[in-house]
Structure 1
Amino acid sequence: MATVMSPLRDETARRTTGEALQGALVDLLDLSLVAKQYHWNLTGPRFRSVHLQLDDVVSLARKAADRVAERAVAVGVNPDGRVRTVADTTKIRQPDGGYESDDKVVASMTDILAQIIARFRERIEATGRTDLVTQDMLIGITADLEKQHWMFEVQTQ
């Protein structure tokens, strides 16, 4: 079995960074799934604009998940994006089955993104003590998530 040389030689730093990255990976993978579920089942007068915005969230989440997983490997941590792991550890409230009104989807996505952003900010703080490169990456992803949050939130006012 091959071993990866990690730039994080301190085991505590690697563990803390790995936990932050794994949590981010689960959030991002499930965000992409939830946004796609809403995308497929959306109804209402704002269908087109919300439908397209959900695709933007899916794209952001998928690209960011890949960056997070690759960073985990780079620091010597195995990322776990298996369906069972995501299902067992996600903190995202799952959509109801069936069609969803655009108002409900906008409100739900606003809430989901706010919760994910709060968790990312905790990870930013934690990795500030363990790995500044990971912290920088998480800051960039958080900025993208905050933009999407803002774009959903203004539709609730």
Structure 2
Amino acid sequence: MATITGPLSGDAKNTVTEALQGALVDLIDLSLIAKQAHWNLVGAHFRPIHLQLDEVTELARRHMDTIAERVVALGANPDGRAATIAKSSKLSQPESGWLEDGKVVATFTDILDAISKRMHERVRATEEPDPVSQDLLIAVAQDIDKQHWMFQAQR
């Protein structure tokens, strides 16, 4: 069986792959939560929030693929299995059923704030061992911060 080796080893590889795996879990769960809210959204501000949730889903999916591919390039295995996401996610989950637009705005403001804080921690953790991975995490943080601002402005 072929194996993939990358430019990092030891503690550097462990630190970076842990940061990237955490980002991957956040992004996969964010994409799922955003779609769940998208499908169940109701309220006077349905249309703009419905479209914004699609933006969140798209950015999460785009970044999760880039992050997972970076893990592979480092010679590790990304884990995006449903069971892994379910046991590892730190994101708060929306209620089931119809979701009132104001509650969705509040929920996503909080979810994106929590992800932003973790992404910024990951950016700091990867600065020394792998600036390439840090750059990818900076791009994720930038998009998450923008969406956080946009939801927060609707509160």
Size of the aligned set, in residue pairs, is 155
| Distance in 2 of aligned mates of 1:95 and 1:72 | 29
Asked if 1:7 is matched to 2:4, the reply is no
Asked if 1:132 is matched to 2:143, the reply is no
**Could you tell me the TM-score, scaled by structure 1's length?**
0.97
Does the residue aligned with 2:129 lie in a helix, a strand or coil? coil
Instruction: Give the C-alpha shift of residue 5 in structure 1.
Output: 2.0
- Give the aligned residue type for 1:136: D
**Off by >3 Å, runs of 4+ in structure 1:** none
Q: Which structure 2 residues correspond to residues 28-47 of structure 1 after superposition, within 5 A? A: 28-47=27-46
Instruction: Give the C-alpha shift of residue 68 in structure 1.
Output: 0.3
- Give the aligned residue type for 2:57: V
| Percent identical | 56
Q: Which residue of 1 aligns with 2:24?
A: 25
Instruction: Give the C-alpha shift of residue 3 in structure 1.
Output: 1.3
- Give the aligned residue type for 2:65: D
Q: Which residue of 1 aligns with 2:66?
A: 67
Q: Which runs of 5+ in 1 are unaligned?
A: none
| Distance in 2 of aligned mates of 1:124 and 1:41 | 33
Q: Which residue of 2 aligns with 1:107?
A: 106
Q: Which residue of 2 aligns with 1:150?
A: 149
Once the two structures are superposed, what CA deviation does each residue of 1:78-119 show, in whole Å capped at 9, x if it has no partner? Answer: 000000000000000111110010000000000000000000
- Give the aligned residue type for 1:43: V
- Give the aligned residue type for 1:61: A
Q: Which structure 2 residues correspond to residues 42-57 of structure 1 after superposition, within 5 A? A: 42-57=41-56
**Could you tell me the TM-score, scaled by structure 2's length?**
0.99
- Give the aligned residue type for 2:40: N
- Give the aligned residue type for 2:4: V
- Give the aligned residue type for 1:141: V
Provide the alpha-carbon RMSD of the alignment.
0.6
